[in-house]
Amino acid sequence: MNGGRVPEVSRRQTEYLLSKVLDAMKNDTRRQILGVLSREPEQELSFSELKAMLPSIHNGSLAHHLRVLQMADLVKRTVRLEERIRNPDPRYCFYSITEFGRYINEEIWAIVEKGSQLVCSP
């Protein structure tokens, strides 16, 4: 054990994660999904609930964007098969923003705002 410290990661792991995060964040739809999930970060939303909150996004597109966000560790998917058995309208896949996702979602805007000030200053 490392006494509660954050585990050390290699430069290669960091570069891999950076690539996934930048890819995920460059898309407006994925930023919208993160925005919805970050409104109540402790809450899990079903696919149907997310779809209702983002009606302009088609099912296949929403599923794709959620997978990209999961691959970047920004969103977590929880499957509860018992819900599928008990509920006639099954909602058994639930999505929530990860702690890392909350951090990235908050900090990226601060970084870009600061960068905008640097770029726009004489």
Question: Average of pLDDT values for 94-105?
Answer: 94
Beta-carbon contacts of residue 24 (< 8 Å; ≥ 6 apart): 30, 68, 69, 71, 72, 74
For 12-33, what is each residue's pLDDT tens digit? 888 999 999 999 999 999 999 9
Domains of the chain as residue ranges with CATH: 11-120 (1.10.10.10)
CA distance 94 to 60: 16
CA distance 108 to 40: 19
For the chain, what is the total number of helices (H) and then of strands (E)? Answer: 6, 3
pTM for the full predicted model: 0.80
For 38-83, what is each residue's pLDDT tens digit? 998 889 999 989 999 999 999 999 999 999 999 999 999 998 776 6
Tokens of 6: 């954050």
Q: What is the identity of the amino acid at 122?
A: P
* Average pLDDT across the chain, whole number: 87
Q: Are the C-beta atoms of residues 73 and 24 closer than 8 Å to each other?
A: no
For 79-95, what is each residue's pLDDT tens digit? 877 666 666 555 678 99
**pLDDT for residue 92:** 77
**pLDDT for residue 11:** 86
Looking at the predicted structure, is the pLDDT value of residue 6 above 90?
no
